[in-house]
Chains A and B, each alone.
Chain A
Amino acid sequence: MTYLAKPKLHHPKLPTNALGYTRRDYEGAISTLCAGCGHDSISAAIIQACFELDLPPHRIAKLSGIGCSSKTPTYFLGNSHGFNSVHGRMPSVLTGANLANRDLIYLGVSGDGDSASIGLGQFAHVMRRGVNMTYIVENNGVYGLTKGQFSATSDKGSKSKRGVVNADEAIDLAALAMQLGATYVARSFSGDKAQLVPLIKGALLHPGAALLDVISPCVAFNNHTGSTKSYDYVREHNEAVNYLDVITLHKEITTEYSPGELQEVRQHDGSILRLRKLHEGYDASDRIAAMNFLQESKAEGEIATGLLFVEEDPADLHAASNTVATPLNALETADLVPGAGALAKINAGLR
Chain B
Amino acid sequence: MQPTNVSSPDYFHKVVDCQWACPAHTPVPEYIRLIAAGRYSDAYLINWESNVFPGILGRTCDRPCEPACRRGRVEEANNASPEPVAICRLKRVAADLKDDIRDRLPKPARQKNGKRIACVGAGPASLTVARDLLPLGYHVVIYDGDARAGGMIRTQIPRFRLPESVIDEEVGYVLNLGAEFRAGTRVDSLKSLLAENYDAVFVGSGAPRGRDLDIPGRREAAANIHIGIDWLSSVSFGHIEKIGKRVIVLGGGNTAMDCCRSSRRLGGDDVKVIVRSGFDEMKASPWEKEDAQHEGIPIINFHVPKAFTHENGKLTGMTFEVVEAKYDANGKRSLVPSGQPDVHVECDDVLIAIGQENAFPWIERDIGLDFDKWGMPVVDKTTFQSTQAKVFFGGDAAFGPKNIIWAVAHGHDAAISIDKFCQAEDVAVRPPPMMNLLSQKMGIHEWSYDNAITADSRYKVPLKDVSIALKSIKVEVELGFDAKLGFKEAQRCLNCDVQTVFTAKQCIECDACVDICPMDCITFTEDGEEADVRKRLTAPALNLTQDLYISGGLKTGRIMAKDEDVCLHCGLCAERCPTGAWDMQKSFIEMTHAGCGKHKPLPLAAE
Report which A residues bind B (CB closer than 8 A): 1-4, 6-14, 24, 34-38, 40-41, 43-44, 190-191, 193, 217, 219, 223, 231-232, 235
B512 located at the interface, meaning its Cβ lies under 8 Å from any Cβ of chain A in the complex: yes
CA distance A347 to B572 in the complex (A): 68
A190 CB, min distance to chain B CBs, angstroms:
8
List, in ascending order, chain B residues with CB within 8 A of A193's CB: 511
Q: Which of A6, A12, A41 has the most CB of B within 10 A?
A: A12
Is there an interface contact between B566 and A12, defined as CB atoms closer than 8 Å?
A: yes
Question: A168 CB to closest chain B CB, in angstroms?
Answer: 28
Residues of B within 8 A of A40 (CB): 512, 515-516, 576
509-524 of chain B: CB within 8 A of chain A:
509-512, 514-516, 518-520
> Apart from A13-B539, A231-B508, what 6 extra A-B contacts exist at CB < 8 Å?
A7-B455, A7-B570, A10-B520, A11-B520, A36-B510, A191-B509
**Cβ of B516 and Cβ of A36 under 8 Å apart?**
no
Closest 5 CB pairs of A and B: A36-B578, A12-B76, A44-B515, A7-B453, A12-B77
B564 to chain A, nearest CB (A): 13
In the complex, whether B568 has a CB less than 8 A from a CB of chain A is yes
Pair B540/A2 contact, Cβ less than 8 Å? no
When chains A and B are docked, how far (Å) is the Cα of A235 from the Cα of B520?
A: 24
CA distance A14 to B521 in the complex (A): 12
> Which residues from A are CB-within-8-Å of B444?
1
A4 to B75, alpha carbons, bound, how many Å? 20
Minimum C-beta distance from A165 to chain B (A): 24
Chain B residues within 8 Å of A190, by CB: 511
| CB contact between A41 and one of B75, B445, B455, B512 (< 8 Å): that residue | B512
Which of chain B's residues 188-247 have a Cβ closer than 8 Å to chain A? Answer: none
Dominant secondary structure at the B interface: loop
CA distance in complex: A9, B569 (Å): 12
Closest to B575 in A: A2
Contacts of A191 in B (CB 8 A): 509-511
B130 to chain A, nearest CB (A): 45
Report the bound CA distance from A106 to B578 in whole Å.
Answer: 32
Which residues on the A side are within 8 Å of B542 (C-beta)?
Answer: 13
Instruction: Name B78's closest neighbour in chain A (CB-CB).
Output: A9
Interchain nearest-CB distance for B72 vs A (Å): 10
21 pairs, A vs B, C-beta closer than 8 Å: A1-B444, A4-B451, A10-B78, A10-B518, A10-B519, A10-B520, A12-B76, A12-B566, A13-B77, A14-B77, A24-B518, A35-B575, A35-B576, A35-B577, A36-B576, A37-B510, A40-B516, A41-B511, A44-B511, A219-B578, A223-B508
Judge if B436 is at the interface, Cβ distance under 8 Å.
Answer: no
List which B40-86 residues lie within 8 A (CB) of chain A.
73-78
Q: Please report the C-alpha to C-alpha distance between residue A1 and residue B444 in the assembled complex, in whole angstroms.
A: 8
The A-B contact count (CB < 8 A) is 104
Q: How far is the CB of B450 from chain A (nearest CB, A)?
A: 10
Q: How far is the CB of A82 from chain B (nearest CB, A)?
A: 20
Contact surface of B with A, Cβ cutoff 8 Å: 73-78, 444-445, 451-453, 455, 508-512, 514-516, 518-520, 539-540, 542, 555-556, 566, 568, 570-572, 575-579
Inside 8 A of B556's CB, which chain A residues have their CB? 235
Which of these, B516, B555, B579, contacts A2 with CB under 8 Å?
A: B516
Contact across chains for B445 and A34 when beta carbons are under 8 A apart: no
Decide if B509 touches A41 in the complex (CB within 8 Å): no
For the complex, give the distance between the alpha carbons of A23 and B579 in Å.
Answer: 27
- Whether B579 and A6, one on each chain, are in contact in the complex, defined by CB atoms closer than 8 angstroms, is no
- Cβ-defined contact, A12 with B512, below 8 A: no
Q: Report the nearest A residue to B577, measured CB to CB.
A: A35
**CB pair A4 B510 closer than 8 Å:** no
Closest residue of chain B to A7, judged by CB? B453
The reply to whether B73 and A231 contact each other, CB–CB distance below 8 Å, is: no
Instruction: Determine the distance from Cα of A107 to Cα of B524 in the docked complex, in whole angstroms.
Output: 28
User: A52 to B508, alpha carbons, bound, how many Å?
Assistant: 27
Contacts of B571 in A (CB 8 A): 4
* Cβ of A86 to closest chain B Cβ, rounded Å: 29
CB-based contact B578/A34 at 8 Å: yes
Given contacts A2-B445, A4-B575, A35-B576, contact A9 B511 (CB under 8 A): no
Most buried by B among A7, A8, A34, A40: A7
Question: CA of A43 to CA of B510 in the docked complex: distance in angstroms?
Answer: 13
Contacts of B77 in A (CB 8 A): 10, 12-14
Taking CB atoms, residues of chain B closer than 8 Å to A9 are: 74-75, 78, 453, 455, 518-519, 568
The residue of chain B having its C-beta at the shortest distance from the C-beta of A8 within the complex is B455
| Cβ B520 vs Cβ A2 within 8 A | no
Alpha-carbon gap, A4 to B269, bound state (A): 55
Q: Which of B509, B518, B540, B577 contacts A7 (CB under 8 A)?
A: B518
Which residues of chain A have C-beta atoms less than 8 A from B508's C-beta?
36, 219, 223, 231-232
Q: How far is the CB of A36 from chain B (nearest CB, A)?
A: 3
Docked-complex contact B520 and A14, CB < 8 angstroms: yes
The CA of A2 and the CA of B444, in the complex, are separated in Å by: 9
Interface centre among A8, A10, A37, A235 (most CB of B within 10 A): A10
Q: Bound state CA distance, A231 and B510, in angstroms?
A: 7
Q: Are A36 and B518 in contact (CB under 8 A)?
A: no
The interface residues of chain A lying within 8 Å CB-to-CB of B512 are 35-37, 40-41
Q: Which of B73, B75, B77, B542 has the most CB of A within 10 A?
A: B77
Bound together, the chains give a CA A94 to CA B78 distance in angstroms of: 38
Closest Cβ of chain B: how far from A68's Cβ, in Å? 14
Residues of B within 8 A of A36 (CB): 508, 510, 512, 576-579
Residues in A with CB closer than 8 Å to B455 are 7-9
Known: A13-B540, A36-B510, A219-B578. A235 touches B555 (CB 8 A): yes
Please tell me if the beta carbons of A4 and B452 are within 8 angstroms of each other in the complex.
yes
Q: Complex: how many Å from CA A235 to CA B512? A: 16
- Chain B residues within an 8 Å CB radius of A34: 578
* Given A9-B453, A235-B555: A35 touches B578 (CB 8 Å cut-off): yes
Q: Which residues of B contact A10 (CB under 8 A)?
A: 77-78, 518-520
The answer on a CB contact under 8 Å between A12 and B570 is no
Contact of A232 among B518, B540, B555 (CB under 8 A): B555
Q: Is the CB of B445 within 8 A of A1?
A: yes
Distance (Å) between the CB of B513 and the closest chain A CB?
Answer: 9
Output the residue of A8, A35, A44, A193 with the most chain B CB within 10 A.
A35
Contact B509 A2 (CB under 8 A): no
For A14, the chain B residues whose CB sits under 8 A away are 77, 520, 539
Residue of A nearest to B571 (CB): A4
Picked from B445, B510, B511, B539, the residue with its CB within 8 Å of the CB of A3 is: B445
Give the distance to chain B from A197, nearest Cβ to Cβ, in Å.
12
A3 to B455, CA, bound (A): 18
Within the complex, the shortest CB–CB distance from B144 to chain A, in Å, comes to 49
Q: In the complex the two chains form, what is the Cα distance from A10 to B519 in whole Å?
A: 5
CA distance A1 to B451 in the complex (A): 16
- Do A41 and B510 contact each other (CB < 8 Å), given the known contacts A2-B445, A4-B575? yes
Looking at A11, A13, A40, the one whose CB has the most chain B CB atoms below 10 A away is A11
The distance in angstroms between the C-alpha atoms of A40 and B508, with both chains bound, is: 15
B519 touches A11 (CB 8 A): yes
**Which residues on the B side are within 8 Å of A223 (C-beta)?**
508
Q: How far is the CA of A195 from the CA of B568 in the complex (A)?
A: 29
Assembled-state Cα–Cα distance A97/B424 (Å): 87
B78, B451, B568 pick with most chain A CB within 10 angstroms: B78
Interface centre among A1, A3, A4, A38 (most CB of B within 10 A): A4
CA distance A69 to B354 in the complex (A): 70
Q: Is the CB of B576 within 8 A of A2?
A: yes
Q: Give bound CA distance, A4 to B452, whole Å.
A: 7
Cβ distance A254 to chain B, nearest Cβ, rounded Å: 15
- Nearest CB to that of B76 among chain A residues? A12
Within the assembled complex, what's the spacing in Å between the Cα atoms of A190 and B510? 8
Closest B residue to A38 using CB positions: B510
Shortest Cβ distance from residue B511 to the other chain A in the assembled complex, whole angstroms: 5
Q: What residues of chain B lie closer than 8 Å to A1, measured between beta carbons?
A: 444-445
B566 / chain A contacts, CB cutoff of 8 Å: 11-12
Residue of B whose beta carbon sits closest to that of A193: B511
Contacts of B575 in A (CB 8 A): 2, 4, 35
Closest A residue to B452 by beta carbon equals A4
User: How far is A223 from B76 in the complex, measured between Cα atoms in Å?
Assistant: 40
Partner of B78, one of A6, A12, A41: A12
